[in-house]
Amino acid sequence: MKGWISVLTAVIVIAGLAFAKTDVPKSVSLDKIPSTIEEFVAMRDEIAVTPSGGAAMFVAAMINYTKDQALGLQCFTAIMVNDGSLLGDDPKGYGGKAPNKNAMYLIEQLEKYPYAPFSYISGTTVDDGYALPSAPYTLTITTNKYSANNIGKGEIKVFVATTGGNMPRPLALVVNNKGIWKVKEFSSLVLGLSKVPVNKNNDDDL
Paired residues of 195 in beta bridges: none
What pLDDT shows up at residue 14?
38
Q: How many angstroms from the chain centroid is the CA of residue 159?
A: 9
Model confidence at 83, in pLDDT bands (50, 70, 90)?
very high
Model confidence at 20, in pLDDT bands (50, 70, 90)?
very low
Flag whether pLDDT at 100 surpasses 50.
yes
Give the separation between CA 162 and CA 142, rounded to whole angstroms.
12
Q: Which residue type sits at 41?
A: V
Q: Is the CB of residue 157 less than 8 Å from the CB of residue 168?
A: no
Domain ranges of the chain: 23-192
What pLDDT shows up at residue 120?
99
Q: Is the CB of residue 48 less than 8 Å from the CB of residue 79?
A: yes
Q: How many angstroms from the chain centroid is the CA of residue 185?
A: 9
Instruction: Determine the length of the chain.
Output: 206
Give the separation between CA 134 and CA 65, rounded to whole angstroms.
20
pLDDT tens per residue across span 137-164 = 999 999 999 998 888 889 999 999 999 9
Model confidence at 19, in pLDDT bands (50, 70, 90)?
very low
Paired residues of 151 in beta bridges: none
Flag whether pLDDT at 65 surpasses 90.
yes
The per-residue DSSP string of 66-130 comes to HH-HHHHHHHHHHHB-TTTTSEEE-TTSGGGEEE-HHHHHHHGGGGT-TTGGGGGSTT--GGGTT
Where residue 116 falls (left for φ over 0; alpha for ψ -120 to 50; beta otherwise) is alpha
pLDDT tens per residue across span 2-18 = 554 443 343 443 344 34
What pLDDT shows up at residue 3?
53
Tell me the pLDDT of the chain averaged across its residues.
90
Higher pLDDT, 6 or 111: 111
What pLDDT shows up at residue 23?
86
